Amino acid sequence: MKIINQKLDCKLLQPKLVKDVRGWFQVAFSIEDMHALGLPFESVFQVNHSYTAKKGVVRGLNFQKRPYNQAKLVRVLKGAVYSVGVDIDPKSSNYGKACGFYLSAANRYMMYLPNTYAHGFTALEDDTELEYVTDQRYVEEAAMSIQYDDDDIVDTEKAKSPYATASAGRSKTGSMFSGEKSTGFGAFGIFDDPDSASPFGRGFVPPELQQPKDDTGIDWTMNGYVTIEKDIRSEKNIQAPLLKDIEF
């Protein structure tokens, strides 16, 4: 396993694949590997698995209050998501800032979130399945949510300029990417995988595809790749407070 990208305090991890004529094998999680990479993870308390039936559904932002706050390692088993972390530690210089990675069953990448981050995601495909490992047990009384469309959250992806539209990141076949190495596009301008290149060349975006810089609120749509299903939300998420009103 290796770290291939970092945004704020969140890391994008690539597992090592062992391939032969039968297929491939990977170690999905190793606490020794996590520690070797300098990623705090106390122990494995739970492995959680969620299913989202329809693309465009946002789940989160979720976290647990201290002392039950959780570090998480997130991956996709089926489909694809835009996985987002928000720093919710008032003492942090990144408080209120958000970042995200594109995770899919095809690219097999994983996102590490420290225990001072809330997590949420948008399903980018129907029938998406997500799995995440936590280093603290679930405690119902400590489990909290934040409004996903809180305008006070600063989206560090949107703050980058220029960036391309989602359509610019698609291949001629209409798929999201032309290869498995691509892990981000659209609102990020430059692909998340350092070995990948933009369809227009690394870092270049035509003027007609450049978007205005507006860093307030998280762009859960991946710059228009999906339409958010605002009516498909849990009661807990509907009643969730804004970031400024939470107790962490």
Query: pLDDT digit string (tens) for 102-115?
Result: 999 999 999 999 99
Query: Quick one: pLDDT at residue 182?
Result: 40
Residue 162: asked if its preceding bond is cis (omega within 30°), the reply is yes
- What does the mean pLDDT of the chain come to? 81
Mean pLDDT of all residues in 42-59: 92
Partner residues linked to 155 by β-bridges: 98
Expressed in percent and rounded to 5, the helix, strand and coil fractions of the chain are 10, 30, 55
In this structure, the strands spanning 154-155 and 97-104 are: parallel
* Residue 64 burial (10 A CB sphere; 0-12, 13-18, 19+): buried
Residue 27 has pLDDT above 50, yes or no: yes
Q: pLDDT class for 241, splitting at 50, 70, 90?
A: very high
- Pick the closest to residue 50 from 30, 72, 24, 25 (CA basis): 72
Query: Quick one: pLDDT at residue 154?
Result: 93
Both tokens assigned to 6: 């970092």
Instruction: Note the CATH number of domain 2-241.
Output: 2.60.120.10
Both tokens assigned to 246: 């939470």
Both tokens assigned to 72: 């998480």
Q: Is the pTM of this model over 0.85?
A: no
Residue 123 has pLDDT above 70, yes or no: yes
